[in-house]
Structure formats: C-alpha cells, structure tokens
Structure 1
Amino acid sequence: MNLTAQDPGQALITITQRPAAVFVEGQGSWLVDERGRRYLDLVQGWAVNSLGHSPAVVAQALAAQAQRLVNPGPAFHNRPMLALAERLAGLGCFSRVFLASSGAEANEGAVKLARRWGQKMRGGAHEIIGFEGGFHGRTLAMMAASGKPGWDTRYPPMPTGFAKARFNDLRSVEAAITPATVAVMIELVQGEAGVNIADPGFVRELRALTQARGLLLIVDEVQTGIGRCGVAFAHGLYGIEPDVMTLAKGLGGGVPLAALLCQERLNCFEPGDQGGTYCGNPLMAAVGLAVVNEVCREDFLAQVRARARQLSVGLQALVQAHGLVAERGAGLLRALVLPTARADAVVGAARDLQPHGLLLNAPRPNLLRLMPALNISEDEVALALHLLDHALREATE
C-alpha cells in the first residue's frame, strides 16, 4: 500500500483529524517532521512529556532496564515496580500503590476500589459523584463518569452509578449525595473543559463534607500530577489529603504508565479483584522512577514555577494586545480564552508559521491550552509567546 503525503494515515482507523506532517524526531521542546521542519511544542503529548521529547534520563532508563528485565508478569515482584511504588508513597499521604498503563485504567481502578470499600464498609454503597466538565478517560465507565457533554450517552447502554454535581458548587454536591453514594471524584484543574480551576474554599469544604459523610475523596491528577502545577501533586496547593489519587501522563514522561494510590485503610482489594497484563511492568516503572526523581526535586519545581510565572505574564500581555478574554491556569497547565470561536484557526496559523511552527491545543472552540515540557527554557517561553502573538494576528486577518 502506497501512503501519500496528503493522506499518510490511510491505513489507520479514523479517530481524529491529524495534520499531514509525520514526526520523526524530537528533542526537548522541539519536534521535527520528515521534511526537516521544526516545531516548538507546547502540547507535549497532552501534558505527557514532563521532560520534553527524548530526554536522556528516559532513554537511559529504558536502555538499562531493557537489558535486564522487560516483563516477568504481574504475578511476580520486580525491583523497579517496588522502587517506584515506594517513591510515590513517600511523596505524600498515601501508603499503597497500583501501577497501570493509562489514566483511564487508573481511574477505573479507583472506582473499583471505592466500590469494593463500599461493599465492605458502607453496606454496598457504589455511586460516584463527579462534576460537570470533568474528564476521566475514554473507557465506557470513565466516559459515564466524565462530565463532558454527551459522553454519557454516546455508546448506549452506558455503565450506571455516576452522578454529576456542578464544579465549585458545594450545595450541588450535597444534593447529589444519596444512601448509595460511596465517593466523590474530582479534577482540581479540569484540563479538557478549558483549564477550569477549583476554588480553594470549595475544595476545603468538599474535603470536610466527604469526611463528615463518610465518603471517599478521589482526586484525578492524571494531568496535574508530577510537577505540572509547580508542586508534586496539585492537591498540595489546596492543603488537603485525598483518600485516593490517580496519576498518569507526566508520570511516564512519554511512556504508558499510570498509578492508583490510596491510604492504608482502603487497601481492600481481594486477590484477583484488580490486575492487568502490564501492571507493574519493570520497563515502564524504571522510566517512571527516573522521571519522578528528576521532576520532584525542589530546585526543579522552583524552575517550573518560574517558567509558569513568565508564561502567565506573557499571556496576560497577549490578552491586552489582542483584546482577548483572559488567561488562566496552574503552573505549566494554562489556557488562553478567546472572544470568538477561532481557536482552531489560531492552532493552524501557529503550526504553519515560518521558519518554524508552534504546536498548540484547542480543547474548546474559543480556548487554547498550553502544556509545555516542565523543563522548557526561559528563551523558549519567550519565543513561544512571540510566535503565539504572530499566530493570533494571522488568524484574524
């Protein structure tokens, strides 16, 4: 089969509209396509590449572990699995860790854990309260758990047991609680919904409410965890301790790795309740350990916060210069809100800039999302803002 430059993906099942460029190389904040054209990447695999493209620590961890042990199977211990679990448990309030391959898988595990706990401790309580605008993955159950409009009806019949409350509205959470409720599941920063930030007062009240009602608080940090918000985990910005947390994306620094973490009292799975062919895979765990050790140093996180301030100030200047609505975000997860539905036009204009392009994401018709590598340099942030300025001008001409 001959693949043309106009349709390089003709052998793929259609799941999205991809531009024609075929990427062949990446280093740090830059991607290169097979024509040799370079792009400054502010998407980074959708907040996946914590250390940018092809970082040495990931390459070295993969090479070293691949020569020792790739996959003994999930029914046996391996040293990288144990080391990563211990490292993650040592970063916060959790004592137990399950390693998986994707954010959706980790979130499914969190729901299973909550329901198993509900069976044992709350008379079979099983309902999970989520939030409008929330996003937890693309499996059937996680689509039902998400608050993305229309997702809970796309592939009927959908799994049940997922109620929805309004983000930053405690009364709506209280109204959604029933005798069957076992947990509340929340993203503290709703990435897919447009980088919507949970109000600190709401989060503190939500934690108090769940504790008072004997419910679990599950924090989905698939996008915000591992330094993305300038701290190890975003819930650290709110001064709370969740009962359960999920991680993925940045945890693997580009490889498929996720984690479900819980407090000791919730370690209630029976053997056989949870698992997966690749859970605790030593190849992926070795990478995750290398990424966590690099990102969760205080000097590294201080640089994340510095670049976040630089990016935020620069975006605020673009808001003023172009008559935009606002910029918002936490750490290096930021959004630029446009006055009209032209985000796709800006993304296209940015990608086509000369002599090199800029890669952006438009999760909403009037919104741009920026998720650069956590080690993006000061000069690269300045260049990105310069290119974005040009793209905004071109998209309005």
Structure 2
Amino acid sequence: MADSILAVAHGMGQHTTESLRTLVENAANTALQRYSTFQNCKFENYVDIKPIVYDDIFEQERQRIVQSNKPVSEYFKSAANLPSLFIENIVELEADIGKDNFYTTQALDVLLYASLHGESVRLRVLSELCTHMAAKGNASFHVVGHSLGTNAIIDTLHKAYTGGITDNNGHHFKLDTITHKLDSLWMIANVSRLMYLLNPIRTSPDPKDTVVKPGTGGDSCTLHYYNIHHVLDPFTRFFHFNPQADEAWVHPDDYESYYHNIITRNIGESLDPHDLTGYLTDPLVSYRFLKRVMPAGSFNPSRDEVIKAHASVRNLVDESQKITAFINSIGSVSDFKTFLKMVKKYQEYINTLNHLWISRKPP
C-alpha cells in the first residue's frame, strides 16, 4: 500500500478506469519532469490512484434511448415525478439541437445525473470511497473531482458524512468527519453551485450548506480544500463557487489556513481550458498538487528548480486569444436550458479546435 491514496472522479464524456488512471498519471508525470531532480520519478510509484468511474451508468441509459428510436424527451416523460419545468427544458433543447445530436452530447450526462440517475452515481462513488478508505491504513487520503464530478463528489460526501447511503441490498455506506476526514479535496472546474442554482429539480444541496468544507473540526469532511478554475473555462464562468472569508462558510482561521482558491490562465498541454489534463499540468495547480498529494517530503524541489520549471511551461498565446474570443461570444447562462446549449456548443467548438490543432502539427 502506497503512503498516499488519490481517488479521482471524472467529469462529462466517456471514461474507463484505465483511461482515467492513465490521464492522471501522464499529467502528474508531465509536471514532475519539469523539475530537474524529479525527471526520473513516476507519480504512480508514490501515489496509489483510485479512479472512480460512473460513465457506464450513463452509457447504459444512452444506449437504451438510442435503441428505443424515440426522442430523448420521451425517455424523461416516461419517468414519474419529474417536474414539468424540467421536461419543458428538455423538449425545447431537443427542438433546438436535434434528436440525434442529443444522443451524443455531453449535455445528456448532465441531464441523467441531475434527474434520474444521480443517486446511482452517488452510491457508486461512496461505495468505492468506503472500500478504499477501509483499506488505506496510515496512508493519507485525497480526492479529486472534475467538472460534473465535483457536483457528484460534493453531493456524495455530504450524504456520506450526514447519514450515509443504503443500496438495494441493504448495505449502508457512511463516513465520519473525524475518523474518515480527508487530507485534501480538489474541486477542479467546480460546477456545484451552478448545478444547484440551475437544476429545476434541485437534486443537489447548496454547496455552501454542506459538510464539504475545510477545517479541523467535526463539521467539515476535509482538512484542505482546493477550489480551482480557469479564467476561460465556461463551466466556471457562470455561478462560480467562490466563498469569501467574511461569509461564515468556515471559521476565519480555517479559511486562511485550509481553503485554497487557485485561478489558472495557461493554455499549454491542452487547448481546452476545461480539460482535466490542462488543469493538472498548469504550474499553479501541479506544484501544489504534487506537494500535497505525494507523501510528505517526497516532492521537495529547490526554489531555483521551481522558478526554472515554471518559466519553461509553454503558453499558446494565439490559441488562448481564439478561445477567449469564443468564450466572450457565449453570452449569459440564465437557466438550465441555456446552460445545456452552452455545453453542446462548447463541446463542438473544442472538437473543431483540437482537429485543426492536430492537422497543423508536423508529421
């Protein structure tokens, strides 16, 4: 067992256990190799990565919808107890983007989590967290959530530490804020407040009113809380989770010592400012991530190393300007429908940008 465990919950899109582990390993090792004395080190030799994958839950429903050969709205209309406003949002969105496009868009992941399958995702996340927590021994325990995964993690942890979740077989999963306090929580592209405010069903609690906050006491589930967003990330552009020191979210001492708000600006390893690889390789994030998640004392570059490493990180200025222009063209996101349309529009834009970028690279 490694001295440090890292559980990672993905965001929208297709993921497997291996693809998510490989993504985190590659991103962490890209960052490690910037530092001269750590160029031969491997992140996975220090940290036991535990991917938490729930995409299969969405994919099963996606295939069911496709095979029914009916509009997505019919799938949701057949469910009991969904409010009319939620259905209206889907019908209007479907009319705007087309039935076939809806099957493949990441917006469907958001809809499935926000309504019918959120509890299945939360149960998956919590059962795996409990399994890894039970086997951790004296290892430090860290959790990363990205994009939609931030919402799933916050929802899950709040339930886990305030009563727990019971599966269909009667197995109860629960955590304690003292016995099972996390060493650090990394909320990357945190959409928890956006989902809370825009989802007509309100299946998620207000993230500021949960135990998912930093501190040493029994009213918080993690010691350190890292809240990270890119200035060009459209998912954190609107309704950003941004608690202030004077809001009584946590004690002022805990806010000062254990809450870390990181704003990134680099476009380098990824053209997508929402991409997890881009976040984990950004020097403002990666240095703190390696320092906190790797076992104590194992990542200790000199000040000169850090300065040289961070100065070497590329920033694609031309691409950054293009992305800035696109993000500024989005306009406002005022409700669930406009948010989902933005998700699809942004997905298509990034796919096009990546295709052009690959085609320009020399053979």
Instruction: State TM-score, norm by structure 2.
Output: 0.32
Instruction: State TM-score, norm by structure 1.
Output: 0.30
Give 1 or 2: higher strand fraction.
1
Give 1 or 2: higher helix fraction.
2
